[in-house]
Chain A
Amino acid sequence: MTQVLAVERLGKDFKVSGGLLGPKGLVQAVDDCSFAVAKNEVLGLVGESGSGKSTLARLLMCLIRPDRGRIVLENAAVDARSADERRRVLSRVQMVFQDSYASLNPRHTAAAEVAFGLAARGEPRRAAERQACEALALVGLTPNLFAERYPHELSGGQRQRVNIARAIALSPKILILDEAVSALDKSVQAQVLNLLGDLKRTLGLTYLFISHDLEVVRYVSDRIVVMYLGKVMEIGSVDVVYDAPAHPYTKALISSRLTTDPKRRTSAAPVTGDPPSPINPPPGCRFSSRCPIAEPICRAREPKLSSLRRDPHHLTACHAHITDSGHSLASARKSEGNP
């Protein structure tokens, strides 16, 4: 596949101060994260709170700097310290945020908000405004009616469209959608999802679709990355991962979806307890405290993300799927030259 964006062993820590007397800690918001995004695909990124998906989005947008690893954009590594490099990234990658209301300046009209980024790039004001109106039209907001409206005069779906217009006005190649439809009513969600699909086709975009809603991710994505407490747990094509998840966490996540048939209700929670504190995580696999098939090896050593034998494009970080890992469910390598 043609890779447009890749992350290699990306890591980002946040210090947690415990005050004068409390313990200081380190939150590894993202650690040893590696995956690639192919041209024109939709890569879904799922995870619960604390999984690091929002941190990852901000790392990709160069809003924060990584502590480890690197980002590769269009086959050239990104040096996040350089302002020129950051500009290069932002000319190719744009983001749509979750909170449609907070992402818009209450004092700016829709057109002004979209034009701001263009003007900041050096476009003269009139040209910026014209392009802004074109972007608004592309997302279905007729400029005559919507260009001069303020955020409080727009509904949730309309505001999110303004956010999308702002992002695509800058002609990116890759769009990161950070829970972009999560806060919308279901009926509006459908409208915006259709819009995103059309835009992708019309403008030839690549999407990184971040969400906690598994049903939406399944509908939208080609491939999926599953994250838990800052680590990648599984990567694979959507159908394969949903129908035959390899990692116990993915299994639990997919089984946690609410039923659509009242006659077949969920009888038991797939996984109990809450995610542990992300501060100073214990050694070994981060899911081991809640995993139904956890064994001593899981608590001792962290499993590396590796491909499954039967499918090289399906990767998982689980000892049960790593040959000769010491886990009882792991296969052993066949010895050579057996009589």
Chain B
Amino acid sequence: MSAMASALVPEPRTLLDVRRLAVRFRSRDGVVAAVQEVSFTLSPGATLSILGESGSGKTMTLRALMRLLPPNAELSGQVIFENSDIATLDEATLRAIRGPKIAMIFQDPMAALDPVYTIGSQISEVIIAHEGVSRAAARVRAKELLDIVQIPSAQRRLDAYPHELSGGLRQRAMIALALSCRPKLLLADEPTTALDATVQIQVLLLIRELQRALGMAVILVTHDMGVACEIADDVAVMYAGRFVEMASIADMVASPQHPYTQGLRASTVQAASRGTPLRPILGAPPDLSQLPSGCAFAPRCDQRLEICDAIVPTVTEAGARRVRCHLFAAQTRS
């Protein structure tokens, strides 16, 4: 397409459109649905945080967006990114997307960094592979990236091996690696969970800053509401493989509507003063292979109705908020 013609095509208003995403695992004991009926859209430059506890399916959802799933996983639904459905792309096109268009950072930097190569060479390798520039030019770009992620003595650090860097610096190096081809979307899987408090806030601010500077959209998976408060525009709370509530972060914090979200907020230590007992959510998350019929949260819900044990609730929309709850649906109708 000529330059002028492409200038006439408007920027898509939706960067990512996920429709009824589901991830299932088939094993000898049966089928386990790790993710079910996940649907959402993401605008360019926006930040979505997926909040959930262990076993909620949040990591699987993230990996499904890039089709980085284990071999025995079955993916269904649509993941439409820039007019193509990632769920059905062939391997070659997918490889061209991973890196330049969508990049991922992990909780453990050693999941992304090869211990036997210097970080400079690893970043350069990605740049050369996707953009075909010379090694010298790639190295200059790599140094720029290390500067952008605020690694001090960047020139010297190009020749450092991952084990020579501290935890926080390794995390930044991994972010530099992810940003090397200026992706449009950054997927972050609990990137700061393993970091110390003083380093965690630095890395979160860095992500926020980079996102502003590069106009990048971010989907960040976390179990900590504080992380979402710091950088997210929107929040989706996950429970037993489904999105149970989606809202802007301000609305979510001010008035959570789903009993699970309400319970989470009420059970935090910030919500109680010293000496008074906390108010935990009774029970524990369900075994995904033995989900109850009806709402997965119903056994633990103190506001449950009869219908909750029988039918899985569908998503009710109220303005910008989406809640998967029979009670909320009933309240909205009235």
Contact = CB atoms under 8 A, between A and B. Distances in A.
Direct contact of A and B (CB under 8 A): yes
Interface in B216-247: 223-232
B197 A214 contact: yes
Contacts, number: 118
Interface stretch (B67-75, B116-124, B138-146, B273-281): B273-281
B294 interface: no
Contact of B264 (A186, A194, A263): A186
Contacts of A274: 166-169, 199
Interface residues of A, number: 42
Interface stretch (A83-91, A264-272, A296-304): A264-272
A281 to B, nearest CB: 15
A219 B269 contact: yes
Interface in A144-161: 155-157
Contacts of B202: 269, 272
Nearest to B251: A262
Nearest to B274: A219
Contacts of B274: 218-220, 238
A258 B227 contact: yes
A199 interface: no
B217 to A, nearest CB: 18
Nearest to B198: A256
A190 B278 contact: yes
A258 B230 contact: yes
B196 A48 contact: yes
A74 B155 CA distance: 56
Contacts of B228: 262
Interface in A225-257: 238, 252-253, 256-257
A228 B15 CA distance: 44
Given A215-B269, A252-B198, A260-B226, A185 B250 contact: no
B263 A256 contact: no
Contacts of B277: 194, 197
Interface string A205-228: 000000010111011100000000
A265 B267 contact: no
A187 interface: yes
A215 B270 contact: yes
A30 to B, nearest CB: 18
Contacts of B270: 215, 260
A184 B196 CA distance: 17
Contacts of B196: 48-49, 212, 275
A100 B53 CA distance: 17
Contact of B230 (A187, A194, A266): A266
A187 B167 CA distance: 28
B255 interface: no
B201 interface: yes
A245 B53 CA distance: 32
A197 B231 CA distance: 34
A291 interface: no
A48 B323 CA distance: 38
B198 A253 contact: yes
Interface string B259-271: 0000110011110
Contacts of B201: 256, 258, 266, 269-270
B135 to A, nearest CB: 30
Contacts of A260: 225-226, 229, 253, 270
A82 interface: no
A256 B197 contact: yes
Interface string A47-58: 011000000000
A191 interface: yes
A190 B225 contact: no
A336 interface: no
B205 A269 contact: yes
A220 B269 CA distance: 9
A263 B252 CA distance: 12
B289 interface: no
A261 B254 CA distance: 9
Contacts of B152: 273
A50 B285 CA distance: 34
A266 B263 contact: no
B284 interface: yes
A193 interface: yes
Nearest to B278: A190
B293 interface: no
Contacts of A190: 267-269, 278-281
B214 interface: no
10 contacts: A48-B197, A185-B223, A187-B267, A187-B280, A193-B278, A194-B280, A219-B274, A256-B198, A269-B205, A275-B196
Interface of B: 53-54, 152, 166-169, 196-202, 204-205, 223-232, 249-250, 253, 263-264, 267-270, 272-274, 277-281, 284-285
Given A261-B229, A262-B253, 8 more contacts: A48-B199, A187-B53, A190-B278, A194-B277, A214-B197, A253-B197, A258-B204, A258-B227
